């Protein structure tokens, strides 16, 4: 089965600074890749997804992610972080038929004023 690793449990950045959250996946075929964000006490909201085509995908709230097959990575980026971006971020990988989506352990983002 596919799996996901998010190496960073917690990241702190200053407001206005750039952000990169790492995600590495393991899957034999072309994966379906997702980034979700979860605010405290809330469900998960999709930021962006990759299925095929252009390896740089744009999402909501100014986020983007790049699929790099050679590195089995799908890192999330944002050029300038806002205080409202403080949340937990989850990377996920899906199989061909999307029956079994696997999540990483999450990265908690703190934004300093």
Partner 1 sequence: DAGITQSPRHKVTETGTPVTLRCHQTENHRYMYWYRQDPGHGLRLIHYSYGVKDTDKGEVSDGYSVSRSKTEDFLLTLESATSSQTSVYFCAISGQGDTEAFFGQGTRLTVV
For residue 51, state whether it binds partner 1 (rule: CB under 8 A).
yes
Each residue 86-105 as x (binds partner 1 by CB under 8 A) or -, in order, gives: ----x-x-x--xxxxxxxxx
Among 11, 13, 19, 44, binds partner 1 (CB under 8 A): 44
Is the distance from CB of 111 to CB of 85 less than 8 angstroms?
Answer: yes
Among 14, 42, 71, 80, binds partner 1 (CB under 8 A): 42
Residues 74, 65: contact at Cβ < 8 Å? Answer: yes
Distance CA 10, CA 46 (A): 20
Binding of residue 6 to partner 1 (CB under 8 A): yes
Report whether 58 contacts 64 (CB < 8 A). yes
Q: How far is the CB of 26 from partner 1 (least distance, A)?
A: 14
- The set of long-range contacts for 46-52, using a CB threshold of 8 Å and a minimum separation of 24, is 47/76, 47/89, 48/76, 50/74
Binding site for partner 1 (CB under 8 A): 1, 4, 6, 9, 32, 34, 36, 42-46, 49, 51, 90, 92, 94, 97-106
């Amino acid at each position: 089965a596919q799996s996901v690793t998010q190496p960073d449990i917690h990241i702190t950045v200053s407001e206005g600074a750039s952000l990169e959250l790492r995600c590495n996946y393991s899957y034999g075929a072309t994966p379906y890749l997702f980034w979700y964000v979860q605010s405290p006490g809330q469900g998960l909201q999709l930021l962006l997804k990759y299925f095929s085509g252009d390896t740089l995908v744009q999402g909501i709230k100014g986020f983007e992610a790049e699929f790099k097959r050679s590195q089995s990575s799908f890192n999330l980026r944002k050029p300038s972080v806002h205080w409202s971006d403080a949340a937990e971020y989850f990377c996920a990988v899906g199989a061909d038929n999307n029956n079994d989506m696997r999540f990483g352990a999450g990265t908690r983002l703190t934004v300093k004023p």
